[in-house]
Structure formats: structure tokens, C-alpha cells
Structure 1
């Protein structure tokens, strides 16, 4: 049995996969998608080239892992923000703020650009499904608010969030953008319990 570098085989695999994704990110940042080859990733990660395909099936799959790396933590943060509030109105505001905070904290702009330009159609579909799972949190809140057209309301609130995320990605001030997004959401939901900002 090969020597493992962690307390269990599972931890060993998780650590190696993280090293491969780290290596892929570094190569992408330095040289773009053209720099992402099996040999370059293996060399950067310090893992034998013939071993890397135990962790993913192709370079396309590795690219998808890079793009989706922050999703679990992002979804967790949004769910926790919603759970910390007690009314649907304040939960809607929490959803908006948490998404923008995650965009500001991570590398969303870079990953989003990579997703648009470099993923295979099937990988883009999987990324889209991850976004849908995030939007479900908003849909639950909107249903509790009793909006007459909940699906349309979710789509418009999410459009506000997406537009504001793009502004944060471009370097706009998080607090300013976040306050604007919450106010726009409050007006859309016509709920005076959502916090006001000047």
C-alpha cells in the first residue's frame, strides 16, 4: 500500500486534491488556461504525473474544481446569515449582504471569468446547478413573505444581487454597494421591516 501523508486515506486524498487545485490556480493566475497542463500541474504540486488522474478525469475536470472551490463555504455563509435572522424581511437582507460579503472576501471575479470563458458546456451546467441551490435559500424567504409572484420576485432580487456582485468584483466599496442592494430589495419586496440605509 502506498505511503500516505495524513491520518487516514481520506485525509490524504483531500490534501493531495487541495494541492493539485492550488497548483492549478497558481498556473492559471500566472499564464492563463494555456498554462494548465497535466505535466505543469503535477510538477507544481510535487505529485507524479501518472498519479494526478486518481483525483480528476481530465484537465477540464480540474478547471471545474478550481471554479467551484469556494461554493461550499459561500453557500454555508449565506445559510448561516439567513438562519441568524428571525423574520423573512431581515432574512432577505441577510441573503443579499452575505452574498456580497462572500464576493468581496474571495476570488469571485476571477473564478466567474474563468467559468464564462473556459469551462465545457457540461461543467457550466453543473456550476449553474450550484447557483440554483444557492437561490433556493432566497426562494424560501420570498415564499414566507407571501409575494404574489414568488418566482419572478426571486429572479429580480437575484438580478440585483448579481449586478451588485459585479460592482464589488470591479472594486466598488462593499458597504456602499451592500446598502444599495438591501434598499433595492426592500423596495422590491415592499416591506418596511427591511433595514433602511441613507
Structure 2
């Protein structure tokens, strides 16, 4: 049995997995997807190459872990921002702002690019399912508005959010993009 470097086997496993994901991120930032091999990740993390397969089955699995790594924190931040508002309209605006703030943290662009271009179809499907949680937060607020076309409203608000996230990913100023997006969404919601 390998020596553990934490208080429990579970903690050791979580720490080692984080090290492997950190190593993969560093390799991707320096050399791109082509440089991401099992051997490179193992060497960067300081463990034997065959040991990485205790944590994932393939490089595709590791890529999926990389793409999905920030989803729990992102989702929690959006849920918290929405819950802090009293009215459904302000909850929708908070949804947009919180997503843009999370995108501005700086890793969304490359994670999205990686998701689109390097994941297997099944991994992409699993990542899309993670987005469902965010859409459910938005849909609940739109439903509370009593909107006559809630699905269309959710789709348009999400399209505005997605377009503005891409602008953030391209380097646009968060404050300017956020102000624009929330104004656009408020106008959309006031149409009825």
C-alpha cells in the first residue's frame, strides 16, 4: 500500500487528484493539448506514470475533470447571488451578473475551448449536464415572473449571458459588459 500524505486515504486521494489536475492545467497553458500526455502529467505531479490511472481512466477523463473543475464553485456563486435578491427580475439580473463575474475570474475561456475541441462526445454531454443546474436557477426566477413565454425568455437571457461571457473571455471590461447585459435583460423583462 502506498504511503499516504494526508490525514486519511480519502484526503490523500483528493490531494493527489488536485495535484494531477494542477499539473495538467500547467501543461496545457505551456504547450497546449498536444503536450498533455499521461507521462507529462505524471512527471509534472511527481508520481509514477502508471499511478495516475488510479485517479482517472484516460487523458479524456482528465480533460473532463479539468473542464468541470470550477463548476461547483461557479454554480454556488450564481445560486448565492440569485438568492440574495428579493424580486424575480432582480434575480434574473443577478444570474447574469454572477455568471459574468465568474467568467472574469480568467479560466472560463480556455476551459470552454477545451470542452468544444478536445473532449469526447460523451464527456461533452456530461459537461452540458453540469450547465443544466445553472439553467434551472434561471428558469425558476423566470417562472416566478409569470412570463407568458418562460422557455423563450430563458433562452434569450441565456443567449445574452453566453454572448457576454464570450466578450469577457476575449478581454472586454467586466463592469462595462455586466452593465450592458443587465440593462438588456431588464429591458427584455419589462417588455410585457
Are 2:186 and 1:186 equivalent residues in the alignment?
A: yes
TM-score with structure 2 length normalisation?
Answer: 0.97
In structure 2, C-alpha distance between the alignment counterparts of 1:15 and 1:128, rounded to whole Å: 26
Q: Mapping of 1:1-198 within 5 angstroms? A: 1-190=1-190
Q: TM-score, normalised by structure 1?
A: 0.94
Aligned-residue offset at 1:152: 0.9
Superposed CA RMSD in Å reads 1.2
Q: What is the alpha-carbon distance in structure 2 between the residues aligned to residue 154 and residue 30 of structure 1?
A: 38
* Runs (5+) with no aligned partner, structure 2: none
Distance in 1 between the 2:106 and 2:127 partners? 17
Give, in angstroms, the shift of residue 47 of structure 1. Answer: 1.2
Counterpart-to-counterpart distance in 2, 1:85 and 1:106: 26
The alpha carbon displacement at 1:2 in A equals 2.4
Answer whether contact 2:142 2:153 (CA < 8 A) is retained: yes
Equivalent residues, number:
192
CA contact (8 A) 1:89 1:191 kept: no
Deviation of residue 33 (structure 1)? 1.0
Q: Is the 8 A contact 1:28 1:35 kept in 2?
A: yes
CA distance in 2, matches of 1:2, 1:26: 26
SS in 2 for 1:105: coil
Q: Note the residue ranges of structure 1 that are not aligned, 5 or more in a row.
A: 193-198
DSSP-derived class of the 2:180 partner: helix
Runs of 4+ in structure 1 off by over 3 angstroms are none
Aligned partners of 1:2, 1:111: CA distance in 2, in Å?
A: 32
Q: Kindly indicate whether the alpha-carbon contact (under 8 Å) linking 2:115 and 2:124 is maintained by their aligned counterparts in 1.
A: yes
1:125-150 CA-to-partner distances (Å, cap 9, x unmatched) read: 11111111111100000000000011
Deviations 1:143-179 (A, max 9, x none): 0000001111101100000000001111111111001
Shift of 1:191: 7.0
CA distance in 1, matches of 2:139, 2:10: 35
Q: Using the TM superposition, give the Cα deviation of residue 106 of structure 1 relative to its aligned residue in structure 2, in angstroms.
A: 3.2
